[in-house]
Amino acid sequence: MSPVTSSGDMNGVGEKWTLNNPLQEVDSEVYEMIKDEKDRQKKGLEMIASENFTSLAVMECMGSCLANKYSEGQPGQRYYGGNEFIDKLELLAQSRSLELYNLDPASWGVNVQPYSGSPANFAVYTALVEPHGRIMGLDLPDGGHLTHGFFTNKAKISATSIFFESMPYKVDPSTGLIDYDALEKSAALFKPKLIIAGISCYARNLDYARFRQIADQNGSLLMADMAHVSGLVATGHVPSPFEFCDVVTSTVHKTLRGPRAGIIFFRRGLKEVDRNGKEIMYDYENKINMAVFPGLQGGPHNHAIAGIAVAMKHAATQEFKDYQTNVVNNAKTLAAGLADLGYKIVTGGTDNHIVHVDLKSSHVKLSGAKGELILEQVNISCNKNTVPGDKSALNPSGIRLGTPSLTTRGLGKENIMTVVGFIDAALHIAVDAQAQSGPKLVDFKAKLEDEKFVSRVQELRNKVEEFAAAFRLPGHDDI
Ligand code: DSN
């Protein structure tokens, strides 16, 4: 893919032509900004649980000619011409997605066109739940996702609570585990059309069989949003939702390590034979395909769809399986290492790639915002997060950490223990600053600007960056 760099008037049409000149030359301002971000990624420790570093091969798809093409519709039934190769790519992405999860195409279909996870979820509700129909998802402060129907007593935050009626289920605040008994009771009263089994910050495996039982008691559909764990499902490191669910949505860029995109799996074929011997078929396919396009989206992102095909191929390899083993082992090491230092780990540990730390109930007694801030200052990225029992999502008590990105960079158990040391050292700088600033975030931020704290932060940041820069990072060298 070496670019032709001619800027001459090759065709004699009297126009200067620079479209094959490299970014660095065409727009050095943008090039430098991307380069700065690449540099940040290289020198930092990326611990946002939903992020990962995709492969060079996926990046090549994302920057390919596929980004030029319109192809509304399904393979073989497009609204535009010129889709011979686009059709082949989309069919390949579909078949590889089904194969990765051992799904028989007679019983399961997949739509690979959603732009990302949020549109995928909205498309499922649009397809299968009538307007103002009822959905139940894990509450956002309890580890659910915005698109599982989040609202507060002040506002309907997510469109999934504006256009559908949602009732959350919760975790038990004493254990941090999903309270399935309470869900069962609420569902019996609310009679949801659809129950969502999915998480954004929950370090334990889901009991899909129990979800199915509760769904069946109420005639509800069951959808899993496996976005966070789809890579781990592919390799058998966490339970698969497919046996129990009607529909499974996912993103492709988290543990699955593909392009930024979403997918929807749906059951198809024979559902049951009724008591009169009549065959009843699943009717999700057409509804879901129609909800994605023309219902909600326009042209599929064909560059992302090619990236999905590549990511699904990669995810079927032993290399990927070994990677996921390391993701989980690293998360367990991280959780145990922090717990040994006195940090309270929500649910006491992890089954997956997430480590959820309750800072306020730990010895450091810091808010999640202060934890996130100090870690960012030493170039460790994570996000503040509510913990069970938090009253305000705006002032959460914890942080969410994840190991997919660090594991992609090749960190193993010993390296993770070094990271534990960095996290602890950073949080202790914050403890000392808070002791002088008092509890308010604004005062805490100001205190960190004192010479003494600036130099402590800088010293630790230097160590973090020197450590991180030694690890591999997929993608282009400069950007
Ligand atoms: N933003 C993702 C996460 O952090 O979990 C979900 O959309």
pLDDT of 50-99, one tens digit each? 999 999 999 999 999 999 999 999 999 999 999 999 999 999 999 999 99
Question: Both 239 and 212 in a single domain?
Answer: yes
- Does residue 210 sit in the same domain as residue 134? yes
CA 19 to centroid of ligand 1, rounded, Å = 35
Indicate if the pLDDT at residue 465 is higher than 60. Answer: yes
Q: Are residues 336 and 311 in the same domain?
A: no
For residue 45, being part of any structural domain is answered with no
Which is it for the CA torsion 113, 116, 120, 122, positive or negative? negative
Residues 378-427: tens digit of each pLDDT = 999 999 999 998 987 789 999 999 999 999 999 999 999 999 999 999 99
- In the predicted model, is pLDDT for residue 7 greater than 60? no
Reported as a pLDDT band with limits 50, 70 and 90, residue 14 is: confident
What's the distance, CA 478 to chain centroid?
A: 25
Regarding whether 177 and 301 lie in a shared domain, the answer is: yes
Return the ligand 1 atom nearest residue 118 CA. 7
259 and 348 housed in the same domain? no
Domain final position from 268, 288, 315: 315
Query: What range does the domain containing 177 cover?
Result: 65-315
pLDDT (tens digit per residue) in 23-39: 999 999 999 999 999 99
Atom 5 of ligand 1, nearest CA residue? 200
CATH number at residue 440: 3.90.1150.10
Establish if 425 belongs to a structural domain.
yes
Question: Of 253, 261, 193, 205, which Cα lies nearest the Cα of 233?
Answer: 205
Most ligand 1 atoms within 8 A of CB, residue of 122, 140, 145 to mutate: 145
Looking at 253, 282, 315, the residue that finishes a domain is 315
Residue 315 and residue 319: Cα distance in Å, rounded? 8
| Same domain flag for 279 and 342 | no
**260 and 310 in a common domain:** yes
Q: Distance between CA atoms of 350 and 355, rounded to whole angstroms?
A: 6
Same domain for 429 and 389? yes
Residue 90 resides in a domain: yes
- C-alpha span between 226 and 237 (Å, rounded): 13
**Average pLDDT estimate for 235-256:** 98
Mean pLDDT (the chain) is 96
pLDDT digits (tens, 9 = 90+) for 205-235: 999 999 999 999 999 999 999 999 999 999 9
Please answer whether residues 206 and 234 qualify as being in contact, where contact means their C-beta atoms are separated by less than 8 angstroms: no
As to burial, measured by CB atoms within 10 angstroms (0-12 exposed, 13-18 middle, 19+ buried), residue 382 is: buried
Ligand 1: residues whose CB is within 6 Å?
50, 117, 145, 200
Same domain, 411 and 275: no
Asked if 176 contacts 346 with a C-beta cutoff of 8 angstroms, the reply is yes
Q: How far apart are CA 362 and CA 398, in angstroms?
A: 10
The tally of domains found in the chain comes to: 2
In a domain, 206, yes or no: yes
Which residues are catalytic, by number? 201, 253
The pTM of the whole model exceeds 0.75: yes
Domain end position, chosen among 315, 338, 357: 315
Is residue 161 situated within a structural domain?
Answer: yes
Shared domain check, 78 and 114: yes
Per-residue confidence band for 9, with pLDDT thresholds at 50, 70 and 90: low
